Amino acid sequence: MKVNGKNYRTVWMEGKEVCLIDQTLLPFEFSIYRSQNYKETCHAIKTMMVRGAGAIGAAAGYAMAQASMEAPEKNCSGFISAARYEIQHTRPTAQNLFYATERVYEAAFISRTLAMEEAENIANEDAEASRKIGQYGNTLIKDGFRILTHCNAGWLAFVDYGTALSPIYAAHKAKKKIQVYVDETRPRGQGARLTAWELKNEGVRHKIVPDNAGAYLLSQCDVNMVIVGADRIAANGDVANKIGTFEKAIIAKEFNIPFYVAAPTSTIDVNCSTGKKIPIEQRDMNEVLYQTGMDKKNKLHEILVCSPGSKAINPAFDVTPAKYITGIITEKGIIHADEKSIFNLMNNK
């Protein structure tokens, strides 16, 4: 995607440095963070400088490649194994993180060069999968459609193109007139800050809506379809995605509005039987209690927005049962959210 006339990926590697767009500064500042070693890349993942299933996966793969290059000749395997453990404990929910780490970890025991190549392969595969998701998803979008999204599953959440937004970009490129309703996605505001920023850059018509306005929009028949991303898909079709997704799925089903999940097959965890077994990340309560914004003098401030002394809970994800999902848009096609469809897809049938 282009920013200020220049093509960017969300995360990439230059020599031994992992370069990534610092998403904690968007939409107020566009800045590239350069990670010098795998520990710094772990920090970037944990603090959400880089976030989104595919982008986390690519960053984790690059971190594993960095660890391979940093490993000393003496106790090389021990160093690489310790790094793998550290990378996989940065964030617990996104399947792509584990998928990428394992692939590069196995390559690292063959050679450092192969580890680098495998990390790059993962990033390229992620971008290509997202592009294909856009092609398949575009077939669902008619001219004049109004689409509701939740969180950010655009190119910032993947290496390029994105998942939930990829069909929207494809439809926009095909000259379809569409309107996107962008959930704020509190507490971190990935919709209001990131999705809206992406759509504005691409010239796609959109409006930011409060998270709790979704039911109103859906009840007024003002939405033709809902498209969201995924951080992990269980073998039975249950989907873990950003907190607040589940309630949108329930409401969409109540008003008979199609609810689609867009995700590459690398997000599917065939070893996880149901959504009940997906680990849900619990983040710092200060993300709920405090918000960062820009004042009229274009200065950023973090302020307390809740009652002083109150505590908060901050689950980062929820799980949407398969029965609420109309279909899953993948790079291999659109499937039903059920065990049989997923089994056939993963076995290329």
Question: Using an 8 Å Cβ cutoff, are 55 and 97 in contact?
Answer: no
Which DSSP symbol is given to 192?
I
Question: Using an 8 Å Cβ cutoff, are 205 and 178 in contact?
Answer: yes
Q: Residues, the chain, total? A: 349
How many angstroms separate the CA atoms of 137 and 140, rounded?
A: 6
3-state secondary structure of 225: strand
Which single residue is written with the structure tokens 């759509």? 199
Phi, psi for residue 59 in degrees, rounded to 5: -65, -40
96, 23, 109: which is closest to 65 by C-alpha? Answer: 109
Q: Is 231 a catalytic residue?
A: yes
Which single residue is written with the structure tokens 């010098």? 36
How many angstroms separate the CA atoms of 97 and 259, rounded?
A: 25
Q: 304 CB contacts (<8 Å, ≥6 apart)?
A: 289, 290
Question: Using an 8 Å Cβ cutoff, are 208 and 199 in contact?
Answer: no
Q: 191 CB contacts (<8 Å, ≥6 apart)?
A: 149, 150, 151, 152, 182, 183, 184, 185, 208
How many angstroms separate the CA atoms of 169 and 103, rounded?
A: 30
Q: At what angle do helices 38-46 and 76-88 cross, to 10 degrees?
A: 10
Which single residue is written with the structure tokens 């907190």? 243
3-state secondary structure of 167: helix
24, 19, 31: which is closest to 52 by C-alpha? Answer: 24
Here the tokens at position 226 are 């809902």
Which entry of 160, 231, 238, 318 is annotated as an active-site residue? Answer: 231
The residues carrying an active-site annotation are 231
